[in-house]
Amino acid sequence: MSSWLDYTINGLIVGNVYALVAVGLALIFGVSRLINFAQGSIYLVGAYIGWVAVVRLHTPLPLTIIVVAAAAAVVGLIIERFGLRPLQNSVRIAPLLATIGISFVLDQLVMLTFSPNPRALPSQLPDVRFQLGGGTIGPLDLLIAGVGLTSALLLFVFLRYTKLGWAVRATAQDRDAAMQMGVDVNRVNQAVFGIAAALGGVSGMLVGMYYNQIDTAMSLQATLKGVVAEVVGGAGNVPGAVIGSLLLGLVESYGVAILGTSYRNLFAFLLLVVVLVLRPNGLFVSARQAPPEPLTGTFVAPSRPVHIPRLVLLVAVAGFALLPLFPVSFYVLQTLINAWLLGMLALSLTLVAGTMGQVSLGHAALLAIGAYTSALLSLTLAVPTGLAVIGGGLMSAALGTLLISPSFRLRGHYVSIATLAIGEIVSLVILNWESVTRGPIGISGIPPLSLFGYDLISPSSVYWFSLAVMVVLALLQGRLLSSHLGRSFRAIRDDDIAARAYGLSLNRYKSLAFIFGGFAAGISGGIAAHLYSYINHETFNTQQSILALTVVILGGLGNVVGAIAGSVALVGLPELFRIAAEYRILIYGIVLLLLVRFRPQGLLGTI
Amino acid sequence: MINTSPEPLLTLSNVNTFYGQAQVHFDLSITVSRGHIVCLLGGNASGKSTTMKIILGLVKPRSGEVTFDGASLIGLSTPQIVRRGIASVPEARRLFADMSVRENILMGAFVRNDREAVAQDLDRMLTLFPKLGQRLSQRAGSLSGGEQQMVAMARALMSRPRMIVMDEPTMGLSPLYVDRVLELIRSINQVGVSVFMVEQNASLALEIAHEAYVLQTGRIVLSGPARALKDDPRIRDAYLGGSEAA
């Protein structure tokens, strides 16, 4: 009995922390209809500023809180001014992609400055527990609750009784009308980003103190949790975000009590998917009300694709095919093999995100499904690896499409959130389904690729194999795009309502796109598994999904040749310039930001 | 009604506007004299609402000049233009639906900092629009269309504007409210506020306007004193051509 009270207290405290993140997300969504994927990075920055203040500067707790809030607010203002304001007139999904880029840049900067090793963040509070009913509560719990309540109160007063607060509310309800009342919406945006960042930064610091540990992995987790809480409460609804956060905290806490710690995140993401599918407006808005914004508009900037003569393509393919015959180093071949594997993933994503307009942030899950299927088929059922890889592709096509199908009824931002959550769910299921996936230990000793009884062990044979598979997939996809199917995909992307009015079944075409894309990605994951010989639940992570997205935007969304060229560029160039691994993610983030800002149609143009 | 000094307050001269490739305005020139009600008539897709947006700085013209009280408005942001003394009653009211009626009206005074005078003006609005008195704490979104129009007009007046621009103020209202709105526009004008209104309903608008312009696919095809235009057969022709709506 007493432990249940403890779990309740724990759930509410954690919920308070989520609320600080989610309220910021809700304010920003309210004013600019943007889901700020950089919110978790600000939370991370807050935690590390807190660490500097406490451990290096020995500031007293109240001052620490003020320093963290102020510094995080400055980061928020910089993001708004230089990252987002220049994108005001571009397509709606552009700022979303920009916040993803910003979050990569911020996370990597923190990692480069402080190293990825976890650090302890002492709370400076006495370590005592008070009895409360049947449970216990500590001073840090009270601090978190106090900060949460105070922030909520201040925010309420701000929104209700100050002029700027009125401007924020008016802008959230009707941006144009607010401008016609004389509201400077840029100032409103600034205010909202500053407040959201201050709250997020303090939240990160409090969490660091709560677990007495901070590390750079906190960032993505915080963004995801904040987004879950915000969407559960109804996007843009500030009180809803608070209630959604507390609910999320409780669900997680009770879930952990029943099933164990490793299930914590699974509950969060399942809750998100269920809410998105059943009540996309959140729990507190009547179901019949229209969503706050249709959230349409893809990132596909209209452009004329660069025409590449067939001969040039043939020469390029032949050149790459003949490469192993020349005395090139193993290192070059290895790099290009990675590029071909990424190329298959990019083909998949460029079809789904570019041609179909469903910006998926969970594409690494398709790799993981293909990889695990192929690895397990060859290891436990002794299926020849060549067939196992195909099995991986088929499984990824079937299971991937099935898992992603709940997102078919969503649009715009919501597709991105849902696919991100589905990607996380796949990774968490792999972690927890130990009888099949061997859980956290991962799968080792995966046999190498073989074809008709011959093992492909030499680098050049693996190189040829992966290049050939990628070229075949690219040709198939090119064929698909020029058929009536390709036209239907693009019609749905450009205007799904009109497409439906012409009798196109959205679910059927979205399924077809994901089946084809899932197959390509599954093959890529399958080959990777046999190449690496060891995989675990973290081998295919969100970073890879984002890398693939950067690749396809670089190449031009929907552009088959562009997807491959983008893969070669983003895998090859860092190798060519011998850029150390820890800087690469930073560079991907910067590339994404520059593309969104200056060349949204990519290098070869969108199709 | 006749104003002794027909000095121009707002002028649009040779304005050309584009949405991407498509040209919306062709050398549009309009003058609103100080103290006058000027109405812009036209069917669907004639470029009426875009004219409103040009004045308010929500859309930038590719060429041409817009001046208010002798100073150019080109390059100013919407809030800056509002501070110059132009208030608006947008198409379909555009109230802040989840804010109370009181908050909506007070939002109109956003550019003012004289709290006491604002409070007095709020009282004045309640005498001008007595029905709103009982509705002050209600959500604006819960009002009827006619009541919402009253709130939108009160909101516009709260900034003590020199000119109000209105986009189809009678659209979607019951006949009773249409008369009431027209009466109010006239009384607003009598206290010295110039009015520029965009309307589809020509006969009603010409009742109260001093001057009128007829816009057809981005060009002014007819203009002059409202009284003269009322009897002009071409008014009817202008409507039947170029627009599919009756």
What are A358-407's pLDDT values in tens digits? 889 899 999 999 999 999 999 999 889 989 999 999 999 999 999 988 88
A173 touches chain B (CB under 8 A): yes
Does A183 sit within 8 Å of B106, measured CB to CB? no
Residues A102, A166, A187, A144: is their CA dihedral positive or negative? Answer: negative
Is-contact A53 A67, C-beta < 8 A?
yes
Contact B96 A178 (CB under 8 A): yes
Question: Best mutation site among A180, A185, A238, A285 for testing chain B: the one with the most B CBs within 10 Å?
Answer: A180
Say yes or no for a CB contact (<8 Å) between A182 and B97: no
| Torsion, Cα of A38, A44, A45, A50 (10° steps) | 150
> Letter for the amino acid at B163?
M
The tens digit of pLDDT for each residue in A505-522 reads 888 889 999 999 999 999
Residue of B187, B198, B204, B213 whose CA lies nearest to B44: B198
Distance from CA of A318 to the nearest CA of B (A): 43
Domain boundaries, chain B: 8-85+161-240, 97-160
Q: Touching check for B107 and chain A: CB below 8 Å?
A: yes
Task: Fold for B8-85+161-240, please state it.
Answer: Rossmann fold (3.40.50)
| Confidence label for B242 from pLDDT (cuts 50, 70 and 90) | very low
Is pLDDT at A585 greater than 90 in this prediction?
A: no
Give B119 to chain A, closest Cα distance, Å.
Answer: 15
Q: Which one has a higher pLDDT value, B91 or A349?
A: A349
Question: If one looks up domain A310-598 in CATH, what number appears?
Answer: 1.10.3470
Give the CATH number of domain A2-278; options: 1.10.3470, 3.30.1910, 1.10.150, 2.60.40: 1.10.3470
Given a cut of 50, whether residue B243 has pLDDT beyond it is: no
Residue B139 sits at the chain A interface (C-beta within 8 Å): no
pLDDT digits (tens, 9 = 90+) for B157-175: 999 999 999 998 888 888 8
The model's confidence at residue A301, banded by pLDDT at 50, 70 and 90, is low
Stretch (H or E) spanning A186: helix A185-211
Residue A180 is nearest to which of B56, B99, B103, comparing CB atoms? Answer: B56
pLDDT of A286 above 60: no
pLDDT band at A288 (very low <50, low <70, confident <90, very high): very low
CA-CA-CA-CA torsion sign (B80, B83, B86, B90)? positive
SS (H, E, C) A444-469: ECCCCCEECCEECCCHHHHHHHHHHH
Three-state SS annotation for A372-441: HHHHHHHHHCCCCHHHHHHHHHHHHHHHHHHHHHHHHHCCHHHHHHHHHHHHHHHHHHHHHCHHHHCHHH
From the list A169, A176, A184, the residue facing B99 with the nearest CB is: A169
CB-based contact B111 A177, cutoff 8 Å? no
- Listed as own residue / partner, the contacts of B129-134 with beta carbons closer than 8 Å and 24 or more positions apart are B129/B153, B129/B154, B132/B101, B132/B105
Q: Is the pLDDT of residue A69 over 90?
A: yes
Decide if A255 contacts A239 (C-beta within 8 A): no
Helix axes A581-598, A93-114, angle to 10 degrees: 160
pLDDT tens sequence across A478-506: 999 999 888 888 888 887 778 888 888 88
Chain B CB within 8 Å of residue A238 CB: no
| Helix, strand and coil in chain A, % to nearest 5 | 75, 5, 25
Task: Say if CB B159 and CB B82 are below 8 A apart.
Answer: yes
Residue A542 pLDDT class (50, 70, 90 cuts): confident
- Under the banding of pLDDT at 50, 70 and 90, the label for residue A348 is very high
* Residues constituting chain A: 607
Residue A169 Cα, gap to closest chain B Cα (Å): 8
Distance CA A68, CA A49 (A): 6
Domain ranges of chain A: 2-278, 310-598
Partner B contacted by A177 (CB < 8 A): yes
Q: How far is A179 from chain B (nearest CA, A)?
A: 6
Structure tokens at B175: 């006949």
Q: Do B94 and A176 touch (CB under 8 A)?
A: yes
ipTM: 0.89
Residue B43's pLDDT is 79
- Banded model confidence at residue B238, pLDDT cuts 50, 70, 90: low
CA of B109 vs chain A CAs: smallest distance (Å): 8
Asked if B103 has any chain A CB less than 8 Å from its own CB, the reply is: yes
| Max avg pLDDT among A164-178, A318-332, A573-587 | A164-178
**Does B48 contact A at CB distance below 8 Å?**
no
Looking at residue A264, its pLDDT comes to: 80
In this structure, the dihedral spanned by the alpha carbons of residues B168, B171, B173 and B178, taken in order and rounded to 10 degrees, is 50
Give dist(CA A572, CA A585) in Å, integer: 14
Closest to A575 measured CA to CA, from A367, A337, A347: A337
A370-383 pLDDT per residue, tens: 999 999 999 999 88
Q: Give the mean pLDDT of B111-127.
A: 92
3-state secondary structure of A263: helix
Cβ separation A170–B107 shorter than 8 A: yes
Measured between CA atoms, the residue of chain A closest to residue B113 is: A163
pLDDT at B237: 65
Average pLDDT rounded to a whole number, residues A537-544: 88
Q: Does pLDDT of B244 surpass 70?
A: no
Separate counts of helices (H) and strands (E) for chain B: 9, 10
How many other C-beta atoms lie within 10 A of the C-beta of residue A162?
A: 12
- From B173's Cα to the closest Cα of chain A, the distance in A is 20
pLDDT at A181 over 50: yes
Using a CB–CB cutoff of 8 Å, tell me whether B56 touches chain A.
Answer: yes
Q: Which two tokens stand for residue A138?
A: 């500590």
Residue-wise pLDDT tens digits, B24-74: 999 999 999 999 999 999 877 788 889 999 999 999 999 999 999 999 999
Residues of chain B with Cβ-Cβ distance to A170 below 8 Å are 96, 99, 107, 110
Spatial CA neighbour of A232 closest among A284, A175, A291: A284
Average pLDDT on A334-358 reads: 92
Cβ distance A166 to B58 less than 8 Å, yes or no, reads: no
